[in-house]
A and B are shown apart, each in its own frame.
Chain A
Amino acid sequence: MAEHHRAGGHPAVRAVDVSVEYDRSREKDKLVALENFTLEVRAGEFLMVVGASGCGKSTFLNVVAGLLFPAKGQVWVHGEEVRGPGKDRAVVFQDYALMPWRSVEDNVKFGLEMQRRLNGDTKDRIPHYIELVGLSGFEKSYPRELSGGMRQRVGLARALATEPSILLMDEPFAAVDALTREVMQEELARIIGETKQTVIFITHSVDEAITLGDRIAVVTSRPGRIKEILPVPIPRPRNGREIRHLSEYTDLRDRIWELLAGETRLMARAPETTES
């Protein structure tokens, strides 16, 4: 597994007063997606981000990934200011973003290839990660021959295969069924437990947030800001179904729901909910 350097006690990610604006093609005004967004993610932490649809979660992830530059504020990764993408981070995209002309196998290789790190050693990982996401037997399939959930898992394997110290995951299990999701969650928790990678994980599922997270960041409705950060007081390893009856679990769940409901009600004309 890759070495995950922790530059002298720096947080893995530090975002201070980040504001992001989008130009809108049809309207004259700018859309403020994030405003004074401040967040610190500790090295080795599994941080969950929940918030209403359109509140700027993906935007924040893109900023950390170095794909988007904030209008105001700064972001540091391992103490260094973000100036673009880097080999220390990998993104699992909400819209998969697989290369349609590449087979599953070649898509999983893609990240390493972009980093010019595909060699005998790294190549050996490919079957391992394909198996990990449960796509053995589909190595030669093209994305168009896969279901939405399967595509999503290819995107996950592609990011994992680069073995970054920070994983940025944008609703990676949104399109998979409940059972597969549970298996994948357990696998992910196991891998991260071993590799001690830092994870920022966006989800719409409060249950998923509590099952996987060390802490849960609740984001306000647009423009997005951190409303509250809640630690998950349940020891690992956790089993999604077993912990569901603990009072810590139900209390935390109610608390998050309350926070989200307050935010969602604010968006009176866009009543989007966030949980199954």
Chain B
Amino acid sequence: MSAAAGAVRAPKAPLRAPKAPRGRKRFTTKQRVVVTIINLAIFCVLWQVIPTVLDIPRIFLPKLSEIFAQYPKMIEEGVFFSNVLVSIRIYVVGMVMAIAVGVPLGLLIGGIRILDKVLLPYLWAVYATPLIVMMPLILLWVGINERARYLLIIVSAVPAIVVIVMEGIKTVEPSLLRAARSFGADRRVLFTKVVIPSTIPFIGTGVKMGMSRGLIGLFVGELFTAATGIGYVIALAGKVFNISRVYAMLLMFVAFSVVMVGLAQYVERRLSVWRSSAVL
């Protein structure tokens, strides 16, 4: 029976084949790059021909070539780099502040049971509410200026980070806490050496979610309060019905978002290597 008992006690982690599991093909990096390029090329060609073939009015969907033609034009006018750089700067600074506030706050609230119990419903309310409803208040508080733009990013990102980090703290394996306590760990050591390390994958996820929410904050801020940035250029172009420029800058924003969230995803993966569920 002891053999069977040993088998029953074997770790619960799901087995995963080290290489190419059956039934699903894995592509090499090179293959993936090629596939992505072909995919994008087809998409571009379709965008180029569909407006003509289907006779879609320009105001809805300009041809891709017209949109791309906007980039040299904007560079010539001196509105491209300045505004894109402003967006990047404000986003990065805003997110650094949001992470610096959100992660410790999540750890603190999640780590102190009474705080968790009391604050969780409010945090969920803030997390669930679209931040647009905060706009009038924020503008009242700080005025229509750059500070409002940072604040919008922070207000969008922090609740997501806090809520996810708090949830992460709740998933800490009780047997690990018990093991640490058995060696006489005090609360502080328990927190820094067990709770925080096991929460790190969730910190990664929280930061990732915060980063995509922060993008909304950035965009809303630029549309409504800014005199600079990608969103501002879009708003301005929209007012004069320069649809190609609106699309051109929207594509910029999409590209920017993809890069940022991709970065966050990468960081999240790196932070959770030790989890058996993370396939790298």
Contacts and interface: CB of A to CB of B under 8 A. Distances in A.
Contacts of B13: 144
5 contacts: A96-B11, A99-B176, A114-B183, A114-B185, A204-B2
Interface in A70-125: 84-87, 89-91, 93-102, 110-111, 113-116
Q: Decide if the interface of chain B is mainly helix, strand, loop or mixed.
A: helix
B10 interface: yes
A93 B179 contact: yes
Contacts of A89: 182
A101 B274 contact: yes
Contacts of B9: 94-95, 148, 174-175
B175 A95 contact: yes
A53 B2 CA distance: 11
A144 B276 contact: yes
Given A87-B184, A93-B175, A116-B189, A101 B5 contact: no
Given A93-B175, A99-B176, A101-B274, A85 B181 contact: yes
Given A65-B182, A87-B184, A148-B9, A276 B2 contact: yes
Interface in B123-176: 173, 175-176
Interface of A: 53, 65-67, 84-87, 89-91, 93-102, 110-111, 113-116, 142, 144, 148, 151, 162, 174-175, 204-205, 272-276
Interface string B178-212: 11111111000100011001101000000000000
Contacts of A97: 173, 175-176, 178-179
A175 B10 contact: yes
Nearest to A100: B274
Interface residues of B, number: 29
B78 to A, nearest CB: 50
Given A90-B183, A148-B10, 16 more contacts: A53-B5, A84-B184, A85-B183, A87-B184, A91-B179, A93-B179, A96-B11, A99-B176, A114-B183, A114-B184, A114-B189, A142-B274, A144-B13, A174-B6, A204-B5, A276-B1
A82 B276 CA distance: 37
Contacts of A144: 13, 274, 276
Contact of B181 (A67, A96, A99): A67
B200 A275 contact: no
A85 B184 contact: yes
B53 interface: no
B89 interface: no
B73 interface: no
Q: Decide if the interface of chain A is mainly helix, strand, loop or mixed.
A: loop
Contacts of A205: 2
Nearest to B4: A276
Given A144-B274, A273-B1, A276-B2, A115 B179 contact: no
B197 A99 contact: yes
Contacts of B274: 100-101, 142, 144
A85 to B, nearest CB: 5
A50 to B, nearest CB: 12
Contact of B6 (A96, A101, A148, A273): A148
B276 to A, nearest CB: 5
B275 interface: yes
Contacts of B198: 99-101
A174 B189 contact: no
Nearest to A208: B2
Contacts of A98: 179
Contacts of A66: 182
A160 B23 CA distance: 46
B184 A101 contact: no
